[in-house]
């Protein structure tokens, strides 16, 4: 089957290219309720499955399970009133094509066997959370299976002096959430007016997104779904030079061709050339993708230095050591230690820190060194093993959750899994990859669920497997507002109407209160 024959795009063209030929997902392209690839082995009693998280991992797992288990019923829980996770709050506003997967998610949600349950968090979220909360133990009592697909909600820290005390230091996650309308960061208000130089620590694609938002012409961004308060702040920005700093070299960098090329082509923005000693003499001998990336770095930007009003650089082989502040408690510069690569042209080269130091002026700093998942309240009581160091739920590699027993392995060396508990996405494998790799990962988990169900393997207790209908009474005790799909569509409609008034696709509501009001 050719990808072009799909009635609705699952992914943007870049993600389709990434996924081509990698997994058998292309064999499952028909409507959810029209193709039955497996039959149940339980007298056709429908599987009742809860999915915690409404991002790509959750939706792709739901889709695959509903395709492979006849009449499977899926209830999807989301702490926010709105769905789509990082597709809504993590994808850069000027990358609307990446959000094409929402069409597939809309199709999933249209199934009568699917229920969206928004503004409902699993486990005690603390006093700051204003929505509904349900104990994890209650969820596990009412479903055959629970899939944890709630992503990575925390960012990693550098752990260097003055990181937490100086003003003007932000995480990339905060900044991305701020300009994308994540209510948690609506009041971040990053000050971009204190100076002309910004430092981004980390060289992944998120770091390049952050740089592009500061360097792009604001009038170009106005046409996207970036928040109006972000447009206002960016229009007042004084930033003219952005340093994107990494510990290793260009051959080890995590950024990809598309994101680098976009920065190189920004109108009126120039690129400071890389140190050519960090590149192999014969680029033609490199693997194709790495060769193309190095060629882009060598070629540089469309706008040359001296003919631009803004510029950016990739500063390699520098490790952050300390933030330095001004008398008013703001970050003023960043001290870096130079590093040395054991094999500069080896993508897996080791790195060691040298004694030489360098200071870079920094009127604002963004930390972009990765995200991290955290355990949900109730994991310990449920016996779910969570690796705090890696920030993942321990699993067998196919998404089956490992349980907390006295011994992690049986006598024959097989991991002990918790029946009916599964995970998918970043909380399963760590915060890496693009939407296409998340889809593949989610399908792997869904296939494990289908295989277990059809093999008659043990699942969660089925005595009270009434799903959402069984849980509704517990939620109603809190007298809080639950958002279902038809309520989300009201929010969606209102946001598009708000966007129309300012000449763009949508203007997101900046608070959960505003979202809930629009759903009434």
Domain count for the chain, please give it.
3
378/355 same-domain check: no
247 marked ligand binding residue: yes
pLDDT of 187: 95
Segment 266-282 shows an average pLDDT of 95
Residue 475: pLDDT band (50, 70, 90) is confident
**Beta bridge partner(s), residue 365:** 169, 199
Answer yes or no: is 194 a known binding residue: no
Residue 36 pLDDT exceeds 50: no
Q: Give a yes or no: residue 447 inside a domain.
A: yes
For residue 26, being part of any structural domain is answered with no
Whether residue 3 is contained in a domain is answered as no
Q: Residue 303 to residues 60, 113, 248, 259, 268: CA-CA distances in angstroms?
A: 41, 53, 26, 17, 6
Average pLDDT value for residue range 77-98: 95
Distance CA 428, CA 227 (A): 31
Average pLDDT over residues 466-495: 90
Say if residue 159's pLDDT is above 80. yes
| Residue 462 confidence class, pLDDT cut points 50, 70, 90 | low
- DSSP letters, 471-495, are HHHHHHTTT---B-HHHHHHHHHHH
User: Which helix (H) or strand (E) segment is 402 a member of?
Assistant: strand 400-402
What is the domain-level CATH number for residue 189?
3.50.50.60
Instruction: Check whether 246 is labelled as a binding-site residue.
Output: no
86 annotated to a ligand binding site: yes
Q: Residue 162 falls within a domain, yes or no?
A: yes
204 is in an annotated binding site: yes
Q: What is the pLDDT of residues 116-129, one digit of tens each?
A: 999 999 986 655 67
Boundaries of domain holding 288: 155-371
Please tell me the least confidently modeled range out of 165-174, 434-443, 471-480: 471-480
pLDDT at 37 over 60: no
CA–CA distance, 261 with 296 (Å, rounded to integer): 7
Is a pLDDT exceeding 70 seen at residue 463?
no
Residue 306 labelled as part of a binding site? no
Together in a domain, 120 and 230: no
Q: What tens digit of pLDDT does each residue of 208-236 get?
A: 999 999 999 999 999 999 999 999 999 99
pLDDT at 61: 98
93 and 79 in a common domain = yes
Is 248 annotated as belonging to a binding site? yes
CATH number at 385 reads 3.40.50.720
Residues 147 and 186 in one domain: no
Contact between residue 30 and residue 7 where contact means Cβ atoms under 8 Å apart: no
Listed residue (445, 440, 399, 432) closest to 21, CA to CA = 440
Q: Is the dihedral of CA 479, 480, 483, 488 positive or negative?
A: positive
| Residue 481 annotated as binding site | no
Whether residue 381 is found in the same domain as residue 457: yes
Is 206 annotated as belonging to a binding site?
yes
Average pLDDT in the chain: 89
Q: What is the pLDDT of residues 237-255, one digit of tens each?
A: 999 999 999 999 999 999 9
How does pLDDT run across 184-207, given as a tens digit for each residue? 999 999 999 999 999 999 999 999
Q: Is 216 annotated as a binding residue?
A: no
Domain boundary (335, 353, 371) is at 371
Q: Which of 341, 371, 401 is the last residue of a domain?
A: 371
Global confidence as pTM: 0.89
Q: What is the mean pLDDT of residues 341-359?
A: 94
Residue 433 marked in a binding site: yes
Model pLDDT for residues 362-382, shown as the tens digit of each residue = 999 999 999 999 999 999 999
């Amino acid at each position: 089957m050719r990808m072009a024959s799909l009635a609705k795009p699952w992914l943007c063209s870049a993600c389709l290219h990434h996924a081509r030929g990698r997994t058998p997902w292309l064999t499952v392209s028909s409507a959810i309720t029209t193709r039955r690839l497996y039959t149940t082995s339980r007298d056709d009693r429908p599987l009742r499955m809860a999915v915690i998280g409404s991002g790509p991992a959750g939706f792709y797992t739901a889709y695959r399970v509903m395709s492979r288990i006849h009449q499977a019923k899926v209830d999807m829980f989301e702490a926010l009133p709105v769905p789509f996770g990082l597709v809504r709050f993590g994808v850069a506003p000027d990358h609307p094509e990446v959000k094409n997967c929402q069409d597939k998610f809309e199709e999933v949600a249209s199934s009568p066997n699917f229920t969206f349950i928004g503004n409902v968090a699993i486990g005690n979220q603390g006093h700051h959370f204003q929505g509904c909360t349900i104990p994890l133990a209650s969820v596990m009592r009412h479903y055959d299976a629970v899939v944890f697909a709630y992503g990575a909600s925390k960012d990693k820290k550098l752990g260097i002096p003055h990181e937490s005390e100086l003003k003007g230091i932000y995480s990339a996650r905060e900044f991305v959430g701020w300009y994308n309308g994540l209510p948690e960061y609506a009041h971040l208000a990053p000050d971009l007016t204190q100076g002309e130089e910004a430092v981004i620590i980390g060289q992944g694609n998120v770091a390049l997104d952050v740089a592009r938002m500061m360097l792009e012409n604001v009038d170009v961004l106005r046409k996207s779904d970036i928040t109006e308060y972000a447009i206002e702040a960016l229009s007042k920005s004084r930033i003219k030079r952005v340093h994107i700093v990494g510990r290793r070299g260009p051959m080890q960098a995590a950024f990809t061709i598309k994101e680098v090329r976009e920065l190189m082509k920004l109108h009126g923005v120039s690129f400071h050339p890389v140190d050519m000693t960090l590149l192999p003499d014969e680029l033609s001998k490199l693997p194709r993708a790495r060769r193309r990336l190095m060629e882009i770095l060598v070629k540089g930007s469309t706008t040359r230095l001296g003919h631009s009003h803004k510029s950016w650089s990739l500063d390699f082989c520098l490790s952050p050591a300390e933030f330095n502040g001004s008398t008013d408690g703001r970050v003023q510069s960043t001290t870096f230690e130079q590093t040395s690569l054991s094999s500069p042209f080896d993508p897996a080269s080791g790195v060691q820190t040298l004694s030489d130091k360098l200071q870079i002026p920094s009127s604002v700093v963004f930390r972009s060194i990765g995200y991290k998942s955290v355990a949900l309240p109730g994991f310990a009581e449920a016996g779910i093993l969570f690796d705090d160091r890696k920030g993942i739920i321990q699993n067998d590699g196919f998404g089956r959750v490992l349980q907390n027993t006295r011994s992690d392995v049986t006598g024959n060396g097989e991991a002990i899994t918790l029946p009916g508990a599964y995970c998918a996405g970043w909380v399963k494998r760590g915060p890496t990859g693009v939407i296409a790799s998340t889809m593949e990962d989610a399908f792997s988990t869904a296939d494990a669920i289908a295989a277990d169900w059809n093999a008659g393997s043990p699942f969660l207790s089925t005595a009270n497997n009434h799903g959402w209908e069984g849980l509704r009474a517990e939620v109603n005790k809190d007298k809080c507002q639950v958002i279902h799909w038809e309520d989300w569509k009201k929010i969606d409609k209102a946001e598009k109407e708000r966007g129309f008034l300012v000449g763009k696709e949508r203007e997101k509501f900046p608070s959960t209160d505003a979202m809930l009001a629009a759903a009434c």
